[in-house]
Chain A
Amino acid sequence: MTSLAEDAGHEASPQAHRARKAALSDRARAERALGWRLAGPAFVIMLAVTAYPILNALWLSLFNYRLTDPNARSFVLLQNYVVILTDGLWWTAVGITVAITLITVVVEFVLGMALAMVMNKIVIPRRTLRTVILVPYAIITVVSAFAWKYAFAVDSGFANHWLHTLTFGAFPLTYDWFGGTWSSLAIICLSEIWKTTPFMSLLLLAGLAQVDSALDEAAKVDGATFWQRLYKVTLPNMKAAIMVALLFRTLDAFRIFDNVFIMTGGSQNTSTVSLVAYNQTISRAEIGMGSAVSVLLFLIVVGICVVFVKAFKVDLAQVKGD
């Protein structure tokens, strides 16, 4: 956040910046040189590990290029993009990914907000509570995916037995959760929600802590109900934190891979966009087609960022909490 804020500050006043440059003192110059020496290596590494791969993927996406047949590599311009955008599999994957993103982010937001409010109010076992709530987030996604898969598996799982008992035998013991699209997605979403709600609640808690309690008390004195205070006082005052939380989670959710890969491997029409990219690049070693899918995924993610920043009308420079 800090670097974003500073960047925005610089852009806001180009004239001042130029004026300062003209009258650069020896000390300022020395400071700048020191700044480059300190931040330079990190800057170079960032360029090497992010800008280069992205540009390389863009370049490769214009080729028909299979890793096992490098000699047959040929330039095909935008052919890969045409194939992807006219393929039903891509659109199914986009639809499934959007569905997973919407469902998980909305549920996580509601649950996360509730947990954040509880954590904000409770004083006594504060540290213990926060640690306990964070436990699922500390578990590796692949491990949690396996845990949920085994829990709902027909042969080794306990979930069916519990549901069977709880419904007094109405729920079939042999229900195959991973045998259909929607039942598979239900487990995938559940696992995703279970794992990342803590992250959401932690980000929201940070925003909640910034809301001035005097505002809340004033509203209380004026006779506002709990819901009125939540909608009119608390939420508007933590808009920036909500945006950051929703943005981070939406981006993460849109790139969902592990849960689907472990639980269904994309069968029953549960392929997500990342899984399609993985299948082309890693399984098929079709570097060109895979790069094109990745570039499209990247563009969608950039699009989500733009939409969020525009829709929330939040100046990220103000997130610093002043």
Chain B
Amino acid sequence: MRRPTAVAAVLAVGVTVGPGLAACGSNQSSAGAKPTLTWYINPDGGGSDPTKKGQAQIAKECTDAAGGRYAIRVQLLPNSASDQRQQLLRRLAAKDSGIDLMSIDPVFVAEFAEAGFLAPVPRNMVAGFTKDTVNAAIEASKWKGSLVAVPFWANTQLLWYRKSVAKAAGLDMSKPVTWEQLITAGRTQKKTIGVQASRYEGYVVWLNALIAGAGGKILLNPGATADRVKLGLDTPAGKAASTVIQQVARTGVGGPALSSTTETEALNLFSNSATSGFLVNWPYTWAALPTNGVKFIDDIGWAKYPETVAGKPSAPPFGGIELGVGAFSAHPDLAYDAATCIASPEHQKLYMLGTGNPAANKTVYDDPAILKQLPMAALIRQSLEDAAPRPSSQYYGDISTGLQREFSPPNAVNPRTTPAAATDLITSVLKGNALL
């Protein structure tokens, strides 16, 4: 009596749940139709509007250029790099065939490649993808010696400053300046230095640039397995970096809410005409200042990223986006074909003009339209050449979170203890002996 009822019940569940689940994964094109490639993009100025010179417009142009071989559809990822990684990682871990192309932050390339989430780059395309490309972008797209992603755009930070403040403080901005000089200038002039020190990825960007600027490296052996990872934090370079953070926090030049300052808060700090002095931030700053209602545009100058140690050339942060092709995609060949179109110098130029995000291709920087819109283009290119990427490791997420935890809040950073504590925490976490 009971069994048929139970079977019927299970069937009923199957019937109600089944179609719903199938609908989630229905990305397969029916036979004969034009394949649709799904490109997961990070939000940019263009959003998903194909007329706003963002990735959505590039997707549309490349669809047109494909002549009917495929169509590219964009899917927006969340705002923060960590959330983007989470979404892609969970989909890829479930072998989602609906991810054909994805815009990934360079720091997650290693993790995705090691996990087998990226389809291999066809050998005959490697030369094309790396031609005229800045070195940091190529390095960031490699894992264990071979190219696993396509450099698309490359980001770096500049030092933005108020000419009047620098002048009053007696700083010669035509020469490289040090963090120490900036902190002194901020303190004596009662002006702020916008930095990123909230507990998020941006804080690691700052920390990495400071350590690299002192000639050090956060990770000494990229590619090592979890129990063999060696960190270069508890070193003179790590201590020099910690000293800068400690000084910015102690003197109060980082603003009243340093421990929750991201790019946005730092930009707001710099937009406040009464207290703004200096800012380290990505080139989008130039387009964002007028929209932020800043009236003193003529008083704003730009210079290379500050030096951690006087006389040692600085190593500006490196960011941007690389294009990855999903390992479970049904059309990896078409996806790489689309990547060639997306990352072409013409589209990098369009993207740089449209969103302010700098190209990875060096030839774009000589373009008159670029020079007209971004007067600091030459400095961006130079900074990209000298930029130091963050550690390349399949465990980057853990390394970054560990650093964020030990270096937060910035006013508790102590050069003698913090680097050692961070080393201990990260090594135990990677060995599975601690929580994060």
Interface residues in chain A, defined as those with a beta carbon under 8 Å from any beta carbon in chain B: 29, 33, 36-37, 40-41, 43-45, 48, 64, 67-70, 76, 79, 83-84, 87, 89-90, 153-156, 174-176, 178-179, 264-268, 276, 279-280, 282-285, 289, 293
Contacts and interface: CB of A to CB of B under 8 A. Distances in A.
10 contacts: A36-B2, A36-B5, A37-B9, A64-B432, A67-B93, A69-B114, A176-B258, A264-B199, A267-B259, A276-B435
Given A68-B114, A68-B115, A87 B89 contact: no
Given A176-B256, A268-B409, A283 B435 contact: no
Given A36-B5, A67-B93, A268-B259, A284 B436 contact: yes
Contact of A283 (B9, B397, B434): B397
Given A44-B9, A68-B394, A267 B409 contact: yes
Nearest to A90: B435
A268 B259 CA distance: 9
A266 B199 contact: yes
Nearest to A287: B93
B80 to A, nearest CB: 10
Given A40-B5, A40-B6, A179-B259, A284 B398 contact: yes
B401 A176 contact: no
Contacts of B168: none
B397 A284 contact: yes
B436 A179 contact: no
B401 A279 contact: yes
B76 to A, nearest CB: 18
Contacts of A176: 256-260
A189 B296 CA distance: 41
Given A48-B13, A179-B257, A282-B86, 5 more contacts: A33-B2, A68-B111, A155-B257, A176-B258, A280-B435
A155 to B, nearest CB: 5
Contacts of A44: 9-10, 13
Interface of B: 1-2, 5-6, 8-10, 12-13, 82, 86, 89-90, 93, 111-112, 114-115, 117, 198-200, 255-260, 265, 268-269, 394, 397-398, 401, 404, 408-409, 411, 432-436
Contacts of B401: 279, 283-284
Interface core residue of A68, A175, A268, A284 (most chain B CB under 10 Å): A68
Given A36-B2, A40-B6, A283-B401, A45 B435 contact: no
Contacts of A267: 198-199, 259-260, 404, 408-409
A178 B198 CA distance: 10
A283 B82 contact: yes
B89 A285 contact: yes
A87 B8 contact: no
A241 B3 CA distance: 41
Contacts of B409: 179, 267-268
A84 B435 CA distance: 7
Contacts of A268: 259, 408-409
A36 to B, nearest CB: 5
A289 B428 CA distance: 14
Contacts of B114: 68-69
B11 to A, nearest CB: 10
A295 B360 CA distance: 46
Contacts of B5: 33, 36-37, 40
In the A-B complex, the 7 residue pairs with the closest CB atoms: A174-B256, A267-B199, A40-B9, A68-B115, A154-B257, A176-B257, A67-B93
A293 B436 CA distance: 12
Given A67-B93, A265-B200, A41 B13 contact: yes
A280 B435 CA distance: 7
A154 B256 contact: yes
A285 B256 CA distance: 35
Contacts of B397: 283-285
B372 to A, nearest CB: 33
A37 B8 contact: yes
Nearest to B225: A72
Contacts of B198: 267
A153 B115 CA distance: 40
B93 A280 contact: no
A84 B428 CA distance: 12
A126 to B, nearest CB: 40
B178 to A, nearest CB: 27
Contacts of A87: 434-435
A40 B10 CA distance: 9
Contact of A68 (B8, B82, B93): B93
A179 B435 contact: no
Contacts of B6: 36, 40
B436 A155 contact: no
Contacts of B404: 267
Contacts of B86: 282-283
A43 B8 CA distance: 13
A261 B151 CA distance: 33
B66 to A, nearest CB: 32
Nearest to B394: A68
Contacts of B10: 44
A176 B265 CA distance: 13
A179 to B, nearest CB: 5
Contacts of B256: 154, 174-176
Nearest to A277: B435
Nearest to A154: B257
A36 B7 CA distance: 12
Which of A70, A268, A276 is the most central at the interface, judged by chain B CB atoms within 10 Å of its CB?
A: A268
Nearest to B200: A265
Nearest to A82: B433
A45 B13 contact: yes
- Give the most central of A45, A48, A69, A76: most B CB within 10 Å: A69
B229 to A, nearest CB: 14
